[in-house]
Structure 1
């Protein structure tokens, strides 16, 4: 059991949404099924619960086949592959891109582990999560990751098979039998929950035929805070509350679901940190009220909606309780 709610960047859902829309499916339906109905209100760098993002990928795999993640990646450009895609842009070779992805992982995800082993002859990639996932979900994620790496390595002009060996979690019903046409015949069932890919060193060092414009200032990502910078449960809960508030006040059950724990366990663990869910909800609302009250473009109706209140009278009472001022008084003070 993790100590905090696992988080990823909202941008990582974008390729899933694009695939859904291109295929004329109902994006809102899939977002609601994964409890991500607020996603369209977020910025690409906003955090969302990792479990919810994976749940959306799993639902797509159930409805459209366990190889759908490869279709999603093949349809997208590198720039559309979320935060990780943006980091890879501008690299001169797959190996350089892998080193950049390794350095960027804490900014991309709070509970993912990427490890590179580089020798003169071969390179090994290990990917794992710092929490447990069911085999069906892990398989969907592994298909997505392998497809992303295939697309990245494909920019060298080399033809498949690009990897010497791929150890991945099999689908619980289909195993790996549905995947060789998509990747290669070098797949093996992983003994654990990690994805392991081995390739010849010269494959990873082969230069890209075209160097893309670097979207992150030559790989400089130091200005982006790691998602697990504050390792308290309360901090991760606040991140989820802030996102979910776009759709109204979230229940403690939804927050607990985002962490894959029970509401009772969430309450107990917050109490061990000397706080509570209601206290964290108040902190998020207070901070948002202070942030937005001075923005001339934000009306009381907008502020009420952002803080998850359906009527403005509830907003006024809450802001007075949290800050000691009405929204109008707070805006006057901030503006002055």
Structure 2
């Protein structure tokens, strides 16, 4: 059973976004086909629906070919990954970078987990996606991660192929032959639905040059809260509902679709924690409205429209319910 609302930071699909833009495709059309619209791409730490992000990857795989995830990853794709990429390059070596990523994944994604395990002459990196997805999606995600790990290791200046062994879920139609030469060694089928790569100590402990490490950063604790919550569906749902306020009309149908549940089941999950979609939406609107009224010069009509209210009267009633006064009086008292 899913314990958290499926979320991932928008930076997770940034290399796909750059590939789409570079190849003359309409980003809005591509994202819309996957059921996702674009957040501001200078705010890539924003949580988005993991299910929708996976839909975009799957759709591009079907349209552009089963090796698409290796083609979207470039020598500099790690820099596109926002806080996660900065954290990686804060490590001195690929081993340190991958260890940091394993620790940070609950802050980046709710349902993807990484581990690094030392072995003779190297280490195994294992990825597991704990959502029930089809093999096209799983293959694309695993291919993408393997390509990112390869790109990270190549940033040391290592001239050879850094991945010594790859076990990956085969594509249900094309198998693994399309990956020959893309990731280094010929991959072999995974019998566990997980991606496993082996990297030698020579690669893992090779230092990043200073020209690369200058892009690294410390752990961004002040605004990079964990997305994953083992004990609360509502806690992670709040983050997505806040995102919905910038992403079209916030409806329970869109919420349920992004959660991977039916409307009835998603509402039942929230009810089990003593809340509802309407309650969480009201909380998100209240927080945004009070900040906008006290800290911006936007007109009240504009604030109401930004929050998805059908008209100013309904917004006025909501503010009176929250504060006991009208929006204009609340704004004046906050000055």
TM-score, normalized by length of structure 1?
0.92
Q: Could you say what secondary structure the match of 1:132 adopts?
A: coil
Distance 1:177 1:35 in 2: 30
Deviation at 1:211, TM superposition (A): 4.5
Residue 7 of structure 1: aligned partner: 7
Deviation at 1:196, TM superposition (A): 0.6
The answer to whether the Cα contact below 8 Å between 1:124 and 1:198 also exists between their aligned partners in 2 is: yes
Residue 334 of structure 1: aligned partner: 334
Deviation at 1:60, TM superposition (A): 1.2
Aligned length: 334
Q: 1:125 to 1:75 in 2, by over 3 A?
A: closer
RMSD over equivalenced CA pairs, Å: 2.1
Q: Could you say what secondary structure the match of 1:114 adopts?
A: strand
Q: Could you say what secondary structure the match of 2:124 adopts?
A: strand
Residue 66 of structure 1: aligned partner: 66
**Segment drifting more, 8-17 vs 174-183:** 8-17
| Structure-to-structure mapping, 1:215-294, within 5 angstroms | 215=215, 217=217, 219-223=218-222, 224-228=224-228, 231-294=231-294
The answer to whether the Cα contact below 8 Å between 2:61 and 2:140 also exists between their aligned partners in 1 is: yes
| Structure-to-structure mapping, 1:182-221, within 5 angstroms | 182-215=182-215, 217=217, 219-221=218-220
Q: 1:302 to 1:69 in 2, by over 3 A?
A: farther
Deviation at 1:267, TM superposition (A): 1.3
Residue 111 of structure 1: aligned partner: 111
TM-score, normalized by length of structure 2?
0.92
Q: 1:104 to 1:216 in 2, by over 3 A?
A: farther
Distance 2:83 2:54 in 1: 16
In structure 1, list runs of 5 or more residues that go unmatched.
none
Residue 137 of structure 2: aligned partner: 137
Q: 1:298 to 1:216 in 2, by over 3 A?
A: farther
Distance 1:25 1:76 in 2: 21
Deviation at 1:210, TM superposition (A): 4.1
Residue 305 of structure 1: aligned partner: 305
The answer as to 2:192 corresponding to 1:163 is no
Q: 1:222 to 1:40 in 2, by over 3 A?
A: closer
Distance 1:119 1:211 in 2: 30
In structure 2, list runs of 5 or more residues that go unmatched.
none
**Segment drifting more, 50-59 vs 226-235:** 226-235
Distance 1:103 1:200 in 2: 21
